[in-house]
Amino acid sequence: MKQDNQKDNLLVDIRDLNVAFFLRQGVARALANLNLQIKRGETLGLVGESGCGKSVTSLAIMQLIPEPGKIMSGEIHFNGEDLMKKNRKQMRKVRANSISMIFQDPTSALNPVLTIGDQLTDTMIVHQKMGRKAAREKAEFHLNEVGISNPGRQLKQYPHELSGGMKQRVMIAMALSSEPDLLIADEPTTALDVTIQAQILDLMLDLQQKYNTAILMITHDLGVIAEVTDRVAVMYAGKIVEQTDVKTLFKEALHPYTNGLMKAIPSAVADLADHEKLYTIPGNVPTLLELPHGCYFQKRCHLVSEECRSRHPEFTERSAGHLVRCFHV
């Protein structure tokens, strides 16, 4: 951020973002002082387990935090503008034109009573002021682009007539139809079979090249992360604990949580020795209501010391672009 051209290169810049959920049982700090940058055209992976705040981050960018959640403080710059300062109408415009989102479950993201065609052309007609016919042609073009061979027919179909993989293709076509600067993909392949997942991931990468769209890839699957991302942020209990480029992460991850996660996945390409157990991170994923004083990972960490219990580790740079939040590595 020292040079100007680097600044221009920045698409999303999140500064000290705090999000809290006000529940019956208490206040859950879903995101605590989150800092995250996404460059133009890159794919940033956001990994973590359930409740770590990865989905909340994406909803915060969209300014769509559901009740009883609230953005408490922080700035979210997108294309140089602070999204927090935008009103509803302006925000709707940003969502329609510059940020798109695809979800884990394409079935619930598509309206079951409208045809694929209606859903695809709707935003084009409303936000891009296109004529019905032009919108239709554009929709066909995008369906073709996501590998749907007979788009004319598909446009007349209802969501329930399509398979899960097809629906996800339609979602991608819909997301890309506005040629957004940022595509947020929240577990886009988790509900799909491996063979279909491979097709969808390839498709996303191809289209990214073509449109130079930045992708925020949210997933719990480290395989997917390795396959498609450029940089990765690992989240734990509402904080980023490690952030670096993907190769460094898989070669020399530093944070004990990142390391644990990688070792805990049973491998499909190698066998463990007989009777060898899987590496485990002890304990449970923490609930955000009862976070400990000091480092949030202390209860499950094998490196824990007195210092970890007394204060929170800073997010510090260890080598160029490799940031870690831990006292002991």
Partner 1 sequence: MSVLLKVNKIKTYFPIRRGLLQRVIGHVKAVDGVDFHLNELETLGIVGESGCGKSTVGKTVLHLIPPTEGEVIFEGDNLEELNEKEMQQKRMHMQMIFQDPYMSLNPRLTVREIITDAPVYHGLIDRKDTRKLAMKLMDFVGLSSRQLNRFPHEFSGGQRQRICIARALSLNPKMIICDEAVSALDVSIQAQILNLFRDLQQEFKLSYLFISHDMGVIRFISDRVAVMYLGRIVELAEKKELFTNPLHPYTKALLSAIPLPDPEQKKKRQPLQGEVPSPTRNYPGCPFAERCPMVIEECSTTVPQLTELGNNHQVSCIRV
Q: Which residues lie near partner 1 (CB under 8 A)?
A: 49-50, 163-166, 193-199, 201-202, 220-227, 246-247, 249-250, 260-262, 264-269, 271-272, 277-282, 284-285, 287, 300
| Ramachandran category for residue 61: left, alpha or beta (phi over 0 → left; psi -120 to 50 → alpha) | alpha
Token pair for 56: 């909340």
CA torsion 66-315-214-116 (nearest 10°) is -30
Q: Least separation, in Å, of the C-beta of 285 and partner 1?
A: 6
Least distance in angstroms from the C-beta of 116 to partner 1: 17
189 or 213, CB closer to partner 1?
Answer: 189
> How far is the C-alpha of 296 from the C-alpha of 281, rounded, in Å?
14
**Smallest separation (angstroms) from partner 1 to the CB of 88:** 35
Structure tokens at 82: 């602070």
For the bound state, the minimum distance from the C-beta of residue 163 to partner 1, rounded and expressed in Å, comes to: 5
C-beta closer to partner 1: residue 72 or 262: 262
Task: Kindly state the smallest distance separating residue 277's Cβ from partner 1, in Å.
Answer: 5
Q: Which is nearer to partner 1, 167 or 325 (CB)?
A: 167
Comparing CA positions, the residue from 266, 238, 251, 257 lying closest to residue 299 is 257
Minimum CB distance to partner 1, residue 22 (Å): 20
- Residue 273 has what DSSP assignment? P
Nearer to partner 1, 134 or 291 (CB): 291
CA atoms within 13 A on the CB side of 32: 19
CA distances from 42 to 149, 223, 286 (A): 29, 18, 31
Ranges of H-type helices in 156-277: 164-176, 194-211, 222-228, 246-252, 256-264
Nearer to partner 1, 71 or 173 (CB): 173
- Report the chain's C-alpha Rg in angstroms: 21
Nearer to partner 1, 3 or 25 (CB): 25
Residue 278, Cβ neighbours under 10 Å: how many?
10
Of 118 and 245, which has the nearer Cβ to partner 1? 245
CB of 287 to partner 1, least distance (A): 8
Omega before 68 within 30 of 0, i.e. cis:
yes
